[in-house]
């Protein structure tokens, strides 16, 4: 039996410290393992995806110790890695799989990567094709489109690559390979995607030039171990931003939220919809911006979301769709076809599940259209094994007139293991 989410229309009150950013946590381990010396990480997200990244590097012989949110990585650099005796298991994590392919391509070890059932269906040619142009050796299903993929580390050459898709994972895989390639790599983005890799390369001592959508990185640069402060994940904060806005009589304060401009599309959308919120971004003790966001119950209006806003909120779209069901008028989400190749097809998943609760929502080829406001009722929902769909369902249950049941809540640990604990801490039934 699934979990019954019977929240009986509470109001939400209080303060939450948002746990570490998943993208930055993955990269802190990867960069620490590539670099020489000791890296210390504070605010690390101990979620299933990030632990999969740690497990891969442990199998490569990198010394990693985890103590709650603190992690220490000791490495003699990428050249000192051992050939793994076991298959590297990337779990449910697209970020781990794609970035590891870029890193391993130019290493001097041979390895095999495999992920869970969802990862085995997600497209990898978007990284293996440009990496092959750099000289990488891969063997995998359908010309290295799908895992399992075997990587024989080899000498790489720089590339000038025009990205056909707005994806930080593709950009990062190429940049991480470029670090160990001969010559200068140039990556031209379609739309600006999250820039944590560029920021962290600089933080670990590499020289990188970013001119609007053009990124240049010279090969042969060494990274040096350092201290990384991981900000809270705005993609996790998004669930409580939406909850605060749609649950009547609520007022929430979210601290430690990462406010990197390539990630703050959800704030733009909430503001465009008329949400009552405050943002204090004075907390800048890291190489990533962070701050505190206040949000309260708001009357909302529909909006249009597309173009260069999409990469800035791609993972927030499931919960933004829920938000739109409570807004007056039409919300159109377009140019978001990337949703079809996430943990599940998130266009179909969001539309199917919100329809079960009575929402007026229609799928389109590249997004969805939502008409609101609609009172939602309970129902039997599925998460499709996708953490973001599971959390969207849990937030929806806060405003349904009858209970929601959810088949699988375990998947939520992929990005937000303390989600229900934090939800319970602000709920006043």
Ligand X SMILES: O=C(O)C1=C[C@@H](OP(=O)(O)O)[C@@H](O)[C@H](O)C1
Q: Report the catalytic residues.
A: 315
- Shortest Å distance, C-beta 52 to ligand PEP: 10
* 7 versus 239: smaller Cβ distance to ligand PEP: 239
Which residues are at the interface with ligand X (CB under 6 A)? 23, 94-95, 167-169, 172, 194, 314-315, 338
* 382 versus 415: smaller Cβ distance to ligand PEP: 415
Say how far apart CA 221 and CA 198 lie, in whole Å.
14
* 121 versus 377: smaller Cβ distance to ligand PEP: 121
Collapsing DSSP to helix, strand or coil, 287 comes out as coil
Say how far apart CA 36 and CA 32 lie, in whole Å.
8
Per-residue 3-state assignment (H helix, E strand, C coil) for 350-364: HHHHHHHCCCEEEEE
Query: Which listed option, ligand X, ligand PEP, none, makes contact with residue 288 (CB within 5 to 8 Å by class)?
Result: none
Query: Which listed option, ligand X, ligand PEP, none, makes contact with residue 167 (CB within 5 to 8 Å by class)?
Result: ligand X
Q: Does the annotation flag 17 for ligand binding?
A: no
* 132 versus 340: smaller Cβ distance to ligand X: 340
Q: In what order do the strands lie in the sheet with 251-258?
A: 276-283, 290-296, 251-258, 11-17, 427-428
Residues 6+ apart with CB under 8 A from 79: 108
- Shortest Å distance, C-beta 168 to ligand X: 4
- Shortest Å distance, C-beta 408 to ligand PEP: 16
* 49 versus 296: smaller Cβ distance to ligand X: 49
Q: Does the annotation flag 126 for ligand binding?
A: no
- Shortest Å distance, C-beta 95 to ligand X: 4
Say how far apart CA 358 and CA 374 lie, in whole Å.
7
Q: Does the annotation flag 383 for ligand binding?
A: no
Collapsing DSSP to helix, strand or coil, 160 comes out as strand
Rg from Cα positions in the chain: 21
Query: Which listed option, ligand X, ligand PEP, none, makes contact with residue 172 (CB within 5 to 8 Å by class)?
Result: ligand X
Say how far apart CA 64 and CA 55 lie, in whole Å.
9
Which residues are at the interface with ligand PEP (CB under 6 A)? 49, 93-95, 315, 342-343, 388, 415
Query: Which listed option, ligand X, ligand PEP, none, makes contact with residue 194 (CB within 5 to 8 Å by class)?
Result: ligand X
Whether 373 and 331 have beta carbons less than 8 Å apart is answered as: no
Tell me which residue has tokens 């990462």.
258
CA separation (Å) from 36 to 31, 204, 282, 368, 382? 9, 10, 32, 46, 45
Query: Which listed option, ligand PEP, ligand X, none, makes contact with residue 168 (CB within 5 to 8 Å by class)?
Result: ligand X
* 194 versus 199: smaller Cβ distance to ligand X: 194
* DSSP per-residue letters across 190-211: SS----HHHHHHHHTT--EEEE
Strand 404-406 with 3-5, pairing? antiparallel
Query: Which listed option, ligand X, ligand PEP, none, makes contact with residue 189 (CB within 5 to 8 Å by class)?
Result: none
Q: Which residues pair with 106 in a beta bridge?
A: none
Q: Does the annotation flag 315 for ligand binding?
A: yes
**Token pair recorded at residue 326:** 């409570």
- Shortest Å distance, C-beta 261 to ligand PEP: 19
- Shortest Å distance, C-beta 170 to ligand X: 6
**Token pair recorded at residue 298:** 């708001």
Annotated binding site: 22-23, 27, 94, 122, 167, 169, 315, 342, 346, 388
Annotated binding site for phosphoenolpyruvate: 22, 94, 122, 169, 346, 388
Annotated binding site for 3-phosphoshikimate: 22-23, 27, 167, 169, 315, 342
């Amino acid at each position: 039996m699934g979990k019954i989410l019977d929240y009986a229309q509470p109001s939400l009150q209080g303060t939450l410290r948002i746990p570490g950013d998943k993208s930055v946590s993955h990269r802190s381990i990867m960069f620490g393992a590539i670099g020489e010396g000791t890296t210390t990480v504070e605010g690390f997200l101990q979620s299933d995806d990030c632990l999969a990244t740690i497990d891969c590097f442990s199998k490569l012989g990198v010394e990693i110790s985890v103590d709650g949110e603190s992690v220490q990585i000791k490495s003699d650099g990428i050249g000192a890695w051992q050939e793994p005796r076991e298959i590297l298991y990337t779990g449910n994590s697209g970020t781990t799989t794609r970035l590891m392919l870029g890193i391993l391509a130019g290493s001097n070890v041979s390895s095999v990567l495999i992920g869970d059932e969802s990862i085995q269906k997600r497209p990898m040619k978007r990284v293996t094709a440009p990496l092959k142009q750099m000289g990488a050796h891969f063997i995998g299903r359908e010309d290295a489109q799908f895992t399992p993929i075997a990587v024989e580390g080899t000498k790489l050459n720089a590339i000038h690559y025009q990205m056909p898709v707005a994806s930080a994972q593709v950009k990062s895989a190429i940049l991480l390979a470029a670090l160990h390639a001969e010559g200068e790599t140039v990556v031209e983005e379609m739309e600006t995607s999250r820039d944590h890799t560029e920021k962290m390369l600089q933080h670990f001592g590499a020289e990188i030039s970013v001119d609007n959508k053009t990124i240049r990185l010279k090969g042969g640069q060494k990274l040096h171990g350092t201290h990384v402060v991981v900000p809270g994940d705005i993609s996790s904060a998004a669930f409580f931003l939406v909850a605060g806005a749609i649950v009547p009589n609520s007022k929430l304060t979210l601290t430690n939220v990462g406010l990197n401009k390539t990630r703050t599309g959800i704030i733009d959308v909430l503001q465009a919809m008329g949400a009552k919120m405050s943002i204090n971004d004075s907390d800048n003790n890291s190489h990533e911006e962070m701050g505190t966001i206040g949000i309260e119950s708001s009357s909302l209006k529909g909006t249009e979301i597309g173009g260069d806003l999409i990469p800035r909120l791609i993972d927030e779209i499931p919960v933004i769709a829920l938000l739109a069901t409570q807004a007056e008028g039409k919300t159109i989400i377009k140019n978001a076809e990337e949703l079809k190749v996430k943990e599940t097809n998130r266009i179909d998943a969001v539309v199917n599940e919100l329809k079960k609760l009575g929402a007026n929502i229609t799928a389109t080829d590249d997004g969805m259209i939502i008409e609101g406001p609609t009172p939602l009722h309970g129902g039997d929902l599925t998460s499709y094994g996708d953490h973001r769909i599971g959390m969207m369902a849990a937030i929806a249950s806060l405003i349904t007139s009858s209970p929601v049941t959810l088949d699988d809540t375990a998947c939520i640990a992929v990005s937000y293991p303390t989600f229900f604990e934090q939800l319970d801490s602000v709920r006043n039934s």
